[in-house]
Amino acid sequence: MPRNRGHAISRFFEDLSDGDPVALGLVTVLAVIFVGVGLFVLKVRRDLRREDEAKARKYGRKP
């Protein structure tokens, strides 16, 4: 097991470029997680904006 993190990272990318199933699976899982979190953040921001606009309309303020 390599002690140097740089070596471990370069080894990971070598394995990824060689098509190692574990490296591909790890990248796929991380990509799915990041996309899921990103979509969740966008939904929450949209919902909060709609809530603010609804409050502004209710109390007669302009958004």
DSSP string, 2-53: -S-HHHHHHHHHHHHHHT-HHHHHHHHHHHHHHHHHHHHHHHHHHHHHHHHH
Q: How far is CA 61 from the centre of its chain?
A: 35
pLDDT tens digits for range 5-53:
888 899 999 999 999 999 999 999 999 999 999 999 999 999 999 999 9
Asked if pLDDT for residue 3 goes beyond 90, the answer is no
Q: Rounded to two decimals, what is the model's pTM?
A: 0.70
Structure confidence at residue 26 (pLDDT): 95
pLDDT band at residue 56 using 50, 70 and 90 as cut-offs: confident
